[in-house]
Amino acid sequence: MSSILRIRWAIAPKTAPRPLINCNRCGGVKAYRCSGKFRVNANGKRIDAWLIYRCVDCDNSWNFGILERCNRRDIEPALLQALESNDPALARRHAFDAVALRSRIGRVEEFPEAAVHKEVLGGRPQNTAALELQLGLEMQTALRLDRLLASELGISRSRLQAWEERRLLVIDPDGARALRKPARTGSVIRIDLAGEPDREAIISAAGG
């Protein structure tokens, strides 16, 4: 491919995963949302810390363990301060850790919506014959790659599949079937647009 326009997509999921918990107030399984608040308990030199979740219906609380019986001297002072001050970035990092939530509670509701910030890294839109999209994820997301590309480029998923079958769309390093899997940080998508009649509209939607 020649005349490649390289664009970085920084992807940030919008809604944190919600654990599905048997709420003793509601009397059934309910989704719990992250409150963004930590609870820190000191028992002598031992520290416990939790991220507080609330039932979406009755506001009943559930605590997601972050630290358990940790010696104060083994905890970085910056981490302890962030916990005690309800640091939003730290709360967000733990709230979006679906793997940790799932290992603790089992059932987790995930949301595919994400915000995409686009930055041109090189090339000129007016001379573009191909796109190179470099994905960077703030954290893991359940959003499938084909849904992400279709939404952001304004095209159908069937067209993406046709491009892949004709080798006009190549995904590195994930290869075959990556379109049907969640978007991953480090993925590079190359799309040959030389023969596409709506090339300019696609380039503009991509961020060029």
Same domain assignment for residues 97 and 160: no
Domain limit, last residue, from 109, 131, 150:
109
DSSP structure string for 72-84: GGGS-HHHHHHHH
Same domain (yes/no): 22, 102: yes
Both 41 and 101 in a single domain?
yes
Give the model's pLDDT for residue 44.
85
* 125 and 143 belong to one structural domain: yes
pLDDT in tens, 142-167: 889 999 999 999 999 999 999 999 99
Q: Are residues 191 and 117 in the same domain?
A: yes
Same domain, 65 and 45: yes
Do 83 and 147 lie in a common domain? no
Distance CA 59, CA 156 (A): 40
Do residues 116 and 202 share a domain?
yes
Does residue 118 sit in the same domain as residue 64? no
1 pLDDT tier (thresholds 50, 70, 90): very low
What are φ and ψ of residue 126, in 5° steps? -70, -20
Of 45, 75, 109, the domain-final residue: 109
Task: Indicate the residue among 109, 124, 149 that finishes a domain.
Answer: 109
Q: 99 and 125, same structural domain?
A: no
Same domain, 9 and 30: no
Q: Are residues 78 and 129 in the same domain?
A: no
What's the total number of domains in the chain? 2
Summarize the confidence of residues 97-114 as an average pLDDT.
90
Whether pLDDT at 106 is above 90: no
Instruction: Give residue 200's domain range.
Output: 4-14+112-206
Q: Which of 142, 141, 169, 134 is nearest to 155 (CA)?
A: 169
